[in-house]
Chains A and B, each alone.
Chain A
Amino acid sequence: MLKAVILIGGPQKGTRFRPLSFEVPKPLFPVAGVPMLQHHIEACAKVPNMKEILLIGFYQPNEELTRFLFNAQQEFKISIRYLQEYSALGTGGGIYHFRDQIVSGSPEAFFVLNADVSSAFPLTEMLSFQKEHGEPNSFVILGTTANRKQSMNYGCIVENEDTHEVLHYVEKPSTFVSDIINCGVYLFNPDIFQHIGSIFQKNQQDMLLEEPTNGWHRAEAIRLEQDIFTALAGQGKLYVYKTLRFWSQIKSAGSAIYASRLYLNQYHKTHPERLASNKEGGPKISGNVYIHPTANIDPTAMLGPNVSIGTGVTIGAGVRVRESIILHGANLQDHCCVLNSIVGWDSTIGKWARVEGTPSDPNPNDPFAKIDSETLFRDGKLTPSITILGCNVSIPSEVIILNSIVLPHKDLNRSFKNQIIL
């Protein structure tokens, strides 16, 4: 049997996802209409023999997470549990801390998935690859090709082109190493805990040599990438399975719009029922659009491509929405126009208002380009990005909000451009 672990991080992570991560833990932010994590869970649940999915993170148990777990168990008919770290233990420390939970029931292998990626998650393909290529007890990293410049923002993998063994691993190098990058999706077996364990022991030894601090915590904080993969490379234990299917990180809010586009596109195969179509009495749909059944949309509105409309959203006459995510309870009044934006929960956009951002899409002419999740500022100036309205923001009629980020609960009274509005 198999298991899967999803690393969901905690409240101090996901700062680039503000102000949206104020309202909802980032892993539960809706992408293509469903919580980000649901795509992972669905992919795991589809793998034959999958018995349990464990979410590991350092969020305090909270209502949203509990509700999500409950609903997901119902829907996917599989055990899903949340295991809380006492503090941030890193991408390797968490699975080591909870190793007994993972190995209980004796899975022969288990997946580990970063929560903040969107992907076709070719998990069964990774399993077959492991059987065909790897040594019997080897580990597999899912890899993809990036362009030279962007590769340095990721974990870089040098492979043996014949065997696909990982010969060298380096996390976010400052010079070019390889254009094969780590997708944050792994296939392990319980042997991995010996490797993490030996790092843990080494850390403890190191701590003893230093003056006494609350060193125990630090000994258990272990990074899979720098601490484990770097050491395993070239040992005949670690392999890379390169995929050509879609993959993108979800770091900034802007990348959530791009990730939505990828998943909406996948819905043609996996969930055609989630894609809206042009129907008598319905709004005009262009491209891939997800509309929650409880949303109320005027037939003269025009939506898409790449639009996701959440629960209870109201969309008035002659409204235009393109490349955007509209979160639950939002109200878009007549003739307003929303482009490349995320409209927060219960926000209101007045008549003829224009809410517009600048997409940060990867270069469409480079098949290996990835989305840049840069910091908000460059040369002291806000870089043009998607526009984000936090929760319960109110935009008056007829104004324009361009390339701006509006923090929750603001009532704006005029136009804003290229600003963060506290």
Chain B
Amino acid sequence: MKALILVGGYGTRLRPLTLSVPKPLVDFCNKPILLHQVEALVKAGVDHVVLAVSYMSELLEREMRVQEQRLGIRISLSHETEPLGTAGPLALARELLDVDNEPFFVLNSDVICDFPFKDLMQFHRNHGQEGTIVVTRVEEPSKYGVVVFEADTGRIHRFVEKPQVFVSNKINSGIYIFNPSMLSRIQLRPTSIEKEIFPVMAEEGQLYTMELQGFWMDIGQPKDFLTGMCMYLQSLRQQAPERLHTGPGFLGNVLVDPTAQIGDNCTIGPNVTIGAGVVVEDGVRIKRCTVMKGARVRSHSWLESCIVGWSSSVGQWVRMENVTVLGEDVIVNDELYLNGANVLPHKSINESVPEPRIIM
């Protein structure tokens, strides 16, 4: 079985993290985003993953050679010379996808959920048409494009962009399965699958939905990245509680890499991820944060709703909050206050940032 993952976007909204690595390699809950997807695909029986890439592909390629070995599957990179959008890459990879008459999965690279690949395959085979979109429920449908479909069968009627009156609360989750026959619908040029391909398939009665059970998040921007982390940790609590860290000073769902060091008199959690080799000194308070590989948080600091990028260092008595994101190798000097700061890689911060802003 095959899958294609769209990894060619610039990931601009997840900057400054994506200035150091392409979005699929950004660590989410101590594992590159892409690996969450690839591992779930492998579990469902996928043995060939095609990555549709456009920029910074060397890093990705190197990492994928390692994963090929580890997972015992084939990983191909399909390079595009110009960004082909969300549909064009399927045309470019056509030869890789259209080899047997089997359906294949397609994924956006930045969604996180309990991937329902086995059920999706089953559901898709049952209705027998060309494509199935996984949909998920949202609270405020007016912010998204929603999918209107027949409740009993899941057959899609239409798509409505940012509906002003309520028509549906289900949105496209960025997870699909298609029969190879749909590839003939796509030309080799920049094309949006959502806007140009799906409406036609729906019109012809070829497109179905399957509703996702459990959590889902598009983690393509820092705020949602943190929300997604909370959801993911909660699902770990239910499915693999032994992977979460417990003990005095730990509250709620906390994921700590075994190589991280946590000092005395800290209070960590709820909803914290601490990466490999991270050092958290004494008396630190962290909640709702991701602290990435190799970072250091010095004593008595207080962090809430932040992402501390790889190898960054946060000084003593620092307060950081309100979706402050430190890029790679940032230094925050002692006693500063960062409120919603977005700090580009390799910066050293010497002054407080009392209101949200970007530090170049």
The interface of chain A, by Cβ under 8 A from chain B, is 300, 317-320, 322, 334-335, 337, 339, 351-352, 354, 356, 398, 400, 402, 417
- Which one of A300, A319, A339, A352 lies within 8 Å of B302 (CB-CB)? A352
In the complex, which of the residues A334, A335, A356 has the most CB atoms of chain B within 10 Å of its own CB atom?
Answer: A335
Q: Of B285, B304, B337, which one neighbours A402 at CB under 8 angstroms?
A: B337
A398 to B354 alpha-carbon distance, docked (Å): 16
B335 within 8 A of A: yes
- Residue among B299, B300, B319, B337 with max Cβ neighbours from chain A (10 Å): B300
Q: Which A residue sits closest to B299, measured CB to CB?
A: A318
Chain A residues whose CB sits within 8 angstroms of the CB of B215 once the complex forms: none
Closest chain B CB from A102 CB (angstroms): 50
With a cutoff of 8 Å between Cβ atoms, the chain A residues found around residue B337 in the complex are 354, 356, 400, 402
Residues of B247-265 whose CB lies within 8 A of A: 265
B317 and A317 form a contact (CB under 8 A): no
The reply to whether B354 and A320 form a contact with Cβ atoms under 8 Å apart is no
The 5 A-B pairs with the shortest beta carbon distances in the complex, nearest first, are A318-B283, A318-B300, A320-B317, A337-B317, A335-B300
A-B contact pairs, 14 of them (CB 8 A): A317-B283, A318-B282, A318-B283, A320-B335, A322-B335, A335-B285, A337-B317, A339-B335, A352-B285, A352-B300, A352-B302, A398-B304, A400-B337, A417-B354
Nearest Cβ in chain A — how far from B340, in angstroms?
A: 13
**A218 → chain B, closest Cβ, in Å?**
49
Among A300, A318, A334, A351, which residue has the most Cβ atoms of chain B within 10 A?
A318
Partner of B283, one of A335, A398, A402: A335
- Does chain A have a CB within 8 A of B290? no
Prevailing SS type, chain B contact patch? loop
Chain B 261-273 interface mask (CB, 8 Å, partner A; 1/0)? 0000100000000
Asked if B316 lies at the interface with its beta carbon under 8 angstroms from chain A, I say: yes
A409 to chain B, nearest CB (A): 26
User: In the assembly, what is the distance between CA of A398 and CA of B306, in Å?
Assistant: 15
Question: Closest CB of chain A to B299's CB: distance in Å?
Answer: 6
Counting chain B CB atoms within 10 Å of each CB, the highest count among A300, A352, A398 belongs to A352
Query: A335 vs B317: C-alpha distance in the bound complex, in angstroms?
Result: 8
A-contacting residues, B295-324, CB 8 Å: 299-300, 302, 304, 316-317, 319, 321
CB distance from B342 to the nearest CB of A (A): 19
Residue of A nearest to B352 (CB): A356
> In the complex the two chains form, is B265's CB within 8 Å of A320's CB?
no
Partner of A335, one of B302, B335, B354: B302
A337, B285: Cβ atoms closer than 8 Å = no
Which residues of A lie under 8 Å from residue B282 when comparing CB positions? 318
| Shortest Cβ gap from B249 to chain A (Å) | 13
B271, chain A: closest CB distance, angstroms = 15
What is the chain A residue whose CB lies nearest that of B334? A320
What's the nearest-Cβ distance from chain A to residue B316, in Å?
A: 7
Set A351, A354, A417: member contacting B319, Cβ < 8 A: A354
Minimal Cβ-Cβ distance residue in B for A319: B300
* Chain B: CB-nearest residue to A417: B354
Q: Shortest Cβ distance from B82 into chain A, in angstroms?
A: 47
Which single member of A317, A356, A402 contacts B265 (CB below 8 Å)? A317
Q: Say how far B49's CB is from chain A's closest CB, in angstroms.
A: 44
Contacts A334-B283, A402-B354 known; A354 to B265 CB distance under 8 Å?
Answer: no
Closest to B285 in A: A352
Q: Which residues of B contact A402 (CB under 8 A)?
A: 337, 354
Question: Which one of B283, B299, B302 lies within 8 Å of A354 (CB-CB)?
Answer: B302
- Residues 323-343 of chain B: 1 if any A CB is under 8 Å from the residue's CB, otherwise 0? 000000000000101000000
Inter-subunit contact A320/B283 (CB<8 Å): no
Q: In the assembled complex, which residues on chain B have CB atoms less than 8 Å from the CB atom of A400?
A: 319, 321, 337
> Which of A319, A320, A417 has most chain B Cβ within 10 Å?
A320
- CB pair A320 B316 closer than 8 Å: yes
Question: In whole angstroms, how far apart are the Cα atoms of A334 and B316 in the complex?
Answer: 14
B354 and A337: CB pair below 8 A?
no
The verdict on A398 contacting B302 (CB below 8 Å), with A334-B283, A337-B319, A339-B335 known, is yes
When chains A and B are docked, how far (Å) is the Cα of A417 from the Cα of B354?
Answer: 9
Task: Taking A354-B302, A398-B302, A400-B321 as given, write out 8 further A-B residue pairs in contact, using a Cβ cutoff of 8 Å, ordered by the A residue number.
Answer: A318-B283, A318-B300, A320-B300, A335-B283, A335-B300, A335-B317, A339-B335, A402-B337
A337 to chain B minimum Cβ distance, whole angstroms, is 4
Chain A residues with CB below 8 A from B316, complex form? 320
Min CB gap B260→A, angstroms: 20
CB distance from A419 to the nearest CB of B (A): 13
Distance in Å: Cβ of B215 to nearest Cβ of chain A:
27
Nearest-CB residue, chain B, relative to A337: B317
CB-defined interface of B215-239 with A at 8 Å, one 1/0 digit per residue?
Answer: 0000000000000000000000000
Are A398 and B300 interface neighbours, CB within 8 A?
A: no
- In Å, the complex CA distance between A322 and B316 comes to 13
Q: How far is the CA of A159 from the CA of B302 in the complex (A)?
A: 56
Residues of B within 8 A of A356 (CB): 337
Which chain B positions have C-beta within 8 A of A317? 265, 283
A334 to B301, CA, bound (A): 11
A237–B15 Cα gap in the complex (Å)?
72
Interface residues as binary, B345-360 with A (CB distance below 8 Å gives 1, 0 otherwise)? 0000000001000000
A318 contact set on B, CB distance < 8 A: 265, 282-283, 299-300
